[in-house]
């Protein structure tokens, strides 16, 4: 088994997809809008992924609500996290998590790369996190995102908090290839890291941001930094779950470090599951990089991963009736918050992640 999360080419598996799975047995897969046509097709795709895998694979997706809702073609889009934080009750955030879980488990998806645990420090900016944060202070994020996560997990879908350590502080810097956060560790511990310390025991995974934190690591971005991942998240904060990178196909990563070396650095830093979402024909280079790791590092990754995969929930039998009921309830919840049955999404794309 190769410890990474792999993207797929389209709504049905190609011969190239099947060859990659047979040869390398990826630990998991990520679905994007390009992989989804309708509910029955999506469930057939996830069923085939399980059949082709020699282990129980993670099958993940980004379904946060609002403009990051990969299954928008299957049901009315629910509100984004900010709308729940501004207008919703904690009970409504919990109900959203429950419905998001029911929706995804019926499709055969067992991990949602949500909730977002970033604090909205820059509400006036139009950036990649616009609308995706549950609040402007740590307690609001803990309460709303925690309820979403808790009830999503109760309904058959694992949670992944992101973007560690503090995506909500990031600003574009013309002198750097990646967004930059200038905060010190003490400042992060007092604010941005509180949702992680509060929710860590019930997060199945945490995703690391592609951001530079000069006060924490003057050389490497957070996704490739041992100081941030192993020293801070593992050792200081005591997190024991799976650690994922954001997509390593981001240009600043591949251009800066090269395919193969980027994966090697990610695993050495303490990540368990790097994401390879788009440049699928480079999988062999990633696999070669894993083979170069010290044996004790490979053992640590494989041991943690095997324990995690044994806990993956088994999806229920597919039922279009149950799925339709869930979608009606999502529409009802949306109408409670917004007065409309489908959330209105801003037409202008604010992040490449929206177009995948």
Which residues belong to the active site? 175, 246
Burial level of 216, CB count in 10 A (0-12/13-18/19+)? Answer: buried
Q: What are phi and psi of 220, to 5 degrees?
A: -115, 150
Nearest to 118 by CA among 202, 194, 176, 228: 194
Question: 338 by DSSP, 3-state: which?
Answer: helix
- In the block, residue with structure tokens 């309460």: 143
Beta carbons of 111 and 204 less than 8 angstroms apart: yes
Spatial separation of the C-alpha atoms in residues 87 and 134, rounded to whole Å: 11
Spatial separation of the C-alpha atoms in residues 207 and 222, rounded to whole Å: 10
Following CA atoms 319, 324, 329, 331 in sequence, which dihedral angle do they give, to the nearest 10 degrees?
150
Spatial separation of the C-alpha atoms in residues 246 and 113, rounded to whole Å: 10
Opening angle at CA 7, ends 292 and 209, nearest 5 = 70
Q: What are phi and psi of 29, to 5 degrees?
A: -140, 155
CA distances from 135 to 63, 84, 274, 292, 350 (A): 18, 9, 28, 42, 19
Opening angle at CA 61, ends 3 and 138, nearest 5 = 95
Spatial separation of the C-alpha atoms in residues 299 and 117, rounded to whole Å: 30
Beta carbons of 262 and 253 less than 8 angstroms apart: yes
Beta carbons of 334 and 341 less than 8 angstroms apart: yes
Nearest to 93 by CA among 141, 161, 139: 141
């Amino acid at each position: 088994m190769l410890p990474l999360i792999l993207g797929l080419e389209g709504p049905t598996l190609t011969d190239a997809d099947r060859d990659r799975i047979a040869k390398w047995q990826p630990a998991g897969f990520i679905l994007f809008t390009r992989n989804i046509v309708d509910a029955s097709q999506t469930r057939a795709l996830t069923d085939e992924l399980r059949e082709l895998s020699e282990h129980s694979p993670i099958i993940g997706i980004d379904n946060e609500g609002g403009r990051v809702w990969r299954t928008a073609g299957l049901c009315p889009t629910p509100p984004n996290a900010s709308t729940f934080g501004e207008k919703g009750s904690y009970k409504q955030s919990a109900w959203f998590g429950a419905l998001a879980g029911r929706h995804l488990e019926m499709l055969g998806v067992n991990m949602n790369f949500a909730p977002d645990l970033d604090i909205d420090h820059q509400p006036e900016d139009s950036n990649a996190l616009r609308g995706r944060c549950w609040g402007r202070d740590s307690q609001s994020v803990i309460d709303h995102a925690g309820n979403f996560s808790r009830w999503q997990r109760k309904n058959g879908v694992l949670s992944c908090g992101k973007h560690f350590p503090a995506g909500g502080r990031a600003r574009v810097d013309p002198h750097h290839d990646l967004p930059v956060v200038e905060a010190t560790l003490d400042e992060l511990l007092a604010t941005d890291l509180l949702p992680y310390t509060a929710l860590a025991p019930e997060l199945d995974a945490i995703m690391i941001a592609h951001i530079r934190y000069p006060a924490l690591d003057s050389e490497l971005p957070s996704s490739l930094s041992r100081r941030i991942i192993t020293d801070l998240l593992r050792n200081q904060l005591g997190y024991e779950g799976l650690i994922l990178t954001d997509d390593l196909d981001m240009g600043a990563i591949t251009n800066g470090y090269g395919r193969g070396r980027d994966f090697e650095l990610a695993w050495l830093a303490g990540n368990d599951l790097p994401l390879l979402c788009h440049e699928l024909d480079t999988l062999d280079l990633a696999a070669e990089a894993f083979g170069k790791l010290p044996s004790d590092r490979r053992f640590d990754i494989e041991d943690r991963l095997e324990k995690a995969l044994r806990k993956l929930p088994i999806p229920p039998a597919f039922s279009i009736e149950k799925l339709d009921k869930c979608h009606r309830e999502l529409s009802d919840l949306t109408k409670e918050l917004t007065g409309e049955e489908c959330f209105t999404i801003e037409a202008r794309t604010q992040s490449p992640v929206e177009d995948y």
